[in-house]
């Protein structure tokens, strides 16, 4: 009974409270309804944190960074989140004529493929790989436009050029053999007095060199004088035998190379001279002087060696592989360490008929004018021989050639980050270009910078794809598509 009473009391109190609250709300006892207590809020799930893929240039330039950075003006790079990458990425037209997409590969060349489009941790799209049979796309290396910009790829159109090939060689200065002379005599005797007694002296033609005593020449003079006197006494007798003997004696003096002044003195009635003056028959510079005052000489002994230095030779050693480009009459520019900043010009005068067995070089003779006497024997020189090409031909810059030793390859730029390695056969090189005999045509665009990086990247991709080939045997035969 007591329990029932307590229960009824609780119900009555509850009902009274609810009625009072209703009346108080109606009468504004608790003020404005906005200030009334409300029910506890329903808990809401925490917002999902957005992931930053990369940071882009605030000016809209195609420059990106994986970490926060600032541009040259101090402005912060703008973050690009995973939910807005699709909005910022420029639309790329679907490739045509490449067949269906087999799979998607990692843009950085990592061994990771996907059957559906996806992005890597940097937000870069995976590159589609198309089925084979795409025709012109077979063998093309595809690089993303962002990667092309980072690598600094530059290309140039192939043009026809008449190349001037410069052949470089080293050589030494030598005397002109056709202007080298030896002073000797046909008689024997002694040097009474030496008038030119120093090596290196420059002499003129007819200049006295020495005074000599020659018993043989003295005897020939005495014989001429005796016949002359005999002929003078026989004049008017009609006997011409003495005249013929006198003429023979005069001829003997000429055969012994008797000085001209001595012969003329004898013909004028002079007597024989014990010592005679030997004069130089040549002009030039004394480069050797075996003659010494007081020495005895015999017929044929070398007394002086004289060379005319108005013209000298440069003997250049040209490599065997460059020999075919050298021709007679071609211009050559010569520089010497003795005269830096100065160049001497000559012409190819002769190509020697042999090649050195050890050096595999051929000697080429270049004639140089030497009016000032600056060029001296055995001076070391470098020579550049200009060998112009015979006709214009397609040529590519030397920087565009990837030379492995066994073959030469250039990268053809097809645009949109698509490059085709193409083997070429080269010809003449010169002026920073190489003639292409086979492989490219005029108008093709070849990569001139960063081609080694593209080649290295493509080789790396091929190696990495080889590791993933067992896991993706079907797509392994595909052709990559450009982004």
Query: pLDDT tens for residues 134-148?
Result: 444 556 777 777 777
Residue 8 lies in a domain: no
C-alpha distances out from residue 230 to 225, 246, 376, Å: 9, 9, 57
Residue 29 lies in a domain: no
Check pLDDT > 50 for residue 361.
Answer: yes
Check pLDDT > 60 for residue 461.
Answer: no
Check pLDDT > 60 for residue 473.
Answer: no
Check pLDDT > 80 for residue 328.
Answer: yes
Taking only Cα atoms into account, the Rg of the chain, rounded to an integer number of angstroms, comes to 52
Give the pLDDT confidence score for residue 404 in this predicted structure. Answer: 79
Residue 209 lies in a domain: yes
Give the pLDDT confidence score for residue 407 in this predicted structure. Answer: 84
| 323 and 355 belong to one structural domain | yes
| 263 and 122 belong to one structural domain | no
Give the pLDDT confidence score for residue 296 in this predicted structure. Answer: 95
- What distance lies between CA 219 and its chain's CA centroid? 72
Give the pLDDT confidence score for residue 235 in this predicted structure. Answer: 57
Cα-Cα-Cα-Cα torsion 472, 477, 482, 483, nearest 10 degrees, comes to: -20
Q: How far apart are the C-alpha atoms of 143 and 153, rounded to whole Å?
A: 11
Contact between residue 284 and residue 307 where contact means Cβ atoms under 8 Å apart:
yes
Residue 201 lies in a domain: yes
Q: Are strands 304-307 and 296-297 parallel, antiparallel or unpaired?
A: unpaired
Residue 40 lies in a domain: no
| 215 and 319 belong to one structural domain | no
Question: Whose CA is closest to 290, among 277, 278, 301?
Answer: 301
| 62 and 103 belong to one structural domain | no
Check pLDDT > 70 for residue 125.
Answer: yes
**In which band, very low, low, confident or very high, does the pLDDT at 478 lie, cut at 50, 70 and 90?**
very low
| 85 and 101 belong to one structural domain | no
**In which band, very low, low, confident or very high, does the pLDDT at 428 lie, cut at 50, 70 and 90?**
confident
- In this predicted structure, which of 8-17, 109-118, 160-169, 225-234 has the lowest mean pLDDT? 8-17
Give the pLDDT confidence score for residue 241 in this predicted structure. Answer: 75
Output the domain CATH number for residue 362: 2.40.30.170
| 127 and 141 belong to one structural domain | yes
Residue 229 lies in a domain: yes
* Highest mean predicted confidence (pLDDT) among 47-51, 66-70, 124-128, 212-216: 212-216
> In this structure, what are the phi and psi dihedrals at residue 243, rounded to the nearest 5 degrees?
-65, -40
**In which band, very low, low, confident or very high, does the pLDDT at 334 lie, cut at 50, 70 and 90?**
very high
Q: What percent of the chain has pLDDT over 90?
A: 34
- In this predicted structure, which of 123-132, 160-169, 204-213, 281-290 has the lowest mean pLDDT? 123-132
Check pLDDT > 70 for residue 7.
Answer: no
If you average pLDDT over residues 415-434, what whole number do you get?
83
Determine the 3-state secondary structure of 417 from DSSP.
coil
Residue 361 lies in a domain: yes
Check pLDDT > 80 for residue 110.
Answer: no
If you average pLDDT over residues 30-50, what whole number do you get?
51
Give the pLDDT confidence score for residue 136 in this predicted structure. Answer: 47
| 403 and 380 belong to one structural domain | no
Determine the 3-state secondary structure of 86 from DSSP.
helix
If you average pLDDT over residues 225-231, what whole number do you get?
85
| 351 and 374 belong to one structural domain | yes
End-to-end, the C-alpha distance of the chain in Å comes to 90
Which positions ≥6 away from 259 have C-beta within 8 Å? 276, 277, 278, 279
What is the CB-side half-sphere exposure of residue 424 using CA atoms within 13 A? 29
**In which band, very low, low, confident or very high, does the pLDDT at 383 lie, cut at 50, 70 and 90?**
very high
Between residues 426 and 3, which one has the greater pLDDT? Answer: 426
Q: What percent of the chain has pLDDT over 70?
A: 74
Check pLDDT > 90 for residue 382.
Answer: yes
Which positions ≥6 away from 355 have C-beta within 8 Å? 320, 323, 361, 362
**In which band, very low, low, confident or very high, does the pLDDT at 26 lie, cut at 50, 70 and 90?**
very low
If you average pLDDT over residues 47-73, what whole number do you get?
77
Q: How many domains does the chain have?
A: 5
Give the pLDDT confidence score for residue 14 in this predicted structure. Answer: 46
**pTM score > 0.75 for this model?**
no
- In this predicted structure, which of 76-90, 164-178, 313-327 has the lowest mean pLDDT? 76-90
**In which band, very low, low, confident or very high, does the pLDDT at 457 lie, cut at 50, 70 and 90?**
low
Check pLDDT > 80 for residue 83.
Answer: no
Question: Whose CA is closest to 364, among 354, 352, 375, 356?
Answer: 352
If you average pLDDT over residues 341-360, what whole number do you get?
92
Residue ending a domain, choose from 260, 279, 302: 302
Give the pLDDT confidence score for residue 431 in this predicted structure. Answer: 77
- What distance lies between CA 29 and its chain's CA centroid? 100
| 317 and 170 belong to one structural domain | yes
Give the pLDDT confidence score for residue 142 in this predicted structure. Answer: 74
Check pLDDT > 90 for residue 277.
Answer: yes
Residue ending a domain, choose from 44, 68, 89: 89
Check pLDDT > 50 for residue 470.
Answer: no
Q: What SS3 string covers 88-136?
A: HCCCCCCCCCCCCEEEEECCCCCCCEECCCCECCCCCECEEEECCCCHH
Between residues 43 and 351, which one has the greater pLDDT? Answer: 351
Give the pLDDT confidence score for residue 150 in this predicted structure. Answer: 76
| 349 and 408 belong to one structural domain | no
Contact between residue 101 and residue 128 where contact means Cβ atoms under 8 Å apart:
yes
What mean pLDDT is reported for the chain? Answer: 78
Predicted confidence (pLDDT) per residue in 166-214, tens digit: 889 999 999 999 999 999 999 999 999 999 999 999 999 999 999 999 9
Check pLDDT > 60 for residue 100.
Answer: yes
Which contiguous run of DSSP H or E holds residue 226?
helix 215-233
Residue 44 lies in a domain: no
Task: Domain of residue 75: give its range.
Answer: 53-89
Give the pLDDT confidence score for residue 386 in this predicted structure. Answer: 82
């Amino acid at each position: 009974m007591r329990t029932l009473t307590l229960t009824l009391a609780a119900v009555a109190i509850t009902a009274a409270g609810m009625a009072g609250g209703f009346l108080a709300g109606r009468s504004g006892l608790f003020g404005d309804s906005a200030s009334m207590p409300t029910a506890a809020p329903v808990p809401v799930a925490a917002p999902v944190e957005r992931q930053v893929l990369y940071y882009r240039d605030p000016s809209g330039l195609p420059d990106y960074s994986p970490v926060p950075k600032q541009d040259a003006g101090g402005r912060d790079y703008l973050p690009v989140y995973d939910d807005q990458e699709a909005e910022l990425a420029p639309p790329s037209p679907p490739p045509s004529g490449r067949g269906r997409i087999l799979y998607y590969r990692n843009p950085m060349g990592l061994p990771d493929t996907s059957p559906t489009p996806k992005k890597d941790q940097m937000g870069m799209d995976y590159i589609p790989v198309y089925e084979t049979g795409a025709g012109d796309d077979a063998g093309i290396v595809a690089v993303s436009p962002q990667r092309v910009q980072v690598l600094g790829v530059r290309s140039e159109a192939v043009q026809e050029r008449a190349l001037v090939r410069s052949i470089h060689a080293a050589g030494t200065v030598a005397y002109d053999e056709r202007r080298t002379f030896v002073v000797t005599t046909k008689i024997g005797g002694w040097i009474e007095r030496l008038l030119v007694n120093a090596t290196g002296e420059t002499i003129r033609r007819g200049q006295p060199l020495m005074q000599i005593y020659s018993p043989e020449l003295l005897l020939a003079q005495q014989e001429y004088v005796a016949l002359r006197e005999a002929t003078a006494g026989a004049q008017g007798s009609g006997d011409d035998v003495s005249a013929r003997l006198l003429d023979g004696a005069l001829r003997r003096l000429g055969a012994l190379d008797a000085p001209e002044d001595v012969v003329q003195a004898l013909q004028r009635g002079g007597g024989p001279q014990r010592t005679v003056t030997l004069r130089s028959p040549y002009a030039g510079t004394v480069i050797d002087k075996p003659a010494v005052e007081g020495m005895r000489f015999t017929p044929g002994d070398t007394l002086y060696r004289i060379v005319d230095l108005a013209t000298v030779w440069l003997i250049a050693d040209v490599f065997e592989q460059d020999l075919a480009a050298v021709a007679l009459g071609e211009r050559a520019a010569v520089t010497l360490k003795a005269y830096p900043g100065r160049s001497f010009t000559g012409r190819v005068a002769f190509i020697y008929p042999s090649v050195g067995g050890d050096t595999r070089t051929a000697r080429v003779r270049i004639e140089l004018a030497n009016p000032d006497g600056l060029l001296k024997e055995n001076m070391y020189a470098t020579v550049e021989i200009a060998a112009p090409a015979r006709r214009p031909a397609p040529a590519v810059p030397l920087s565009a050639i990837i030379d492995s030793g066994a073959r030469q390859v250039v990268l053809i730029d097809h645009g949109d980050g698509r490059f085709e390695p193409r083997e070429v056969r080269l010809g003449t090189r010169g002026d920073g270009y190489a003639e292409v005999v086979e492989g490219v045509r005029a108008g093709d665009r070849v990569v001139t910078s960063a081609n080694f990086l593209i080649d290295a990247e493509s080789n790396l991709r091929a190696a990495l794809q080889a590791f993933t080939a067992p896991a993706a045997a079907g797509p392994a035969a595909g052709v990559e598509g450009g982004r």
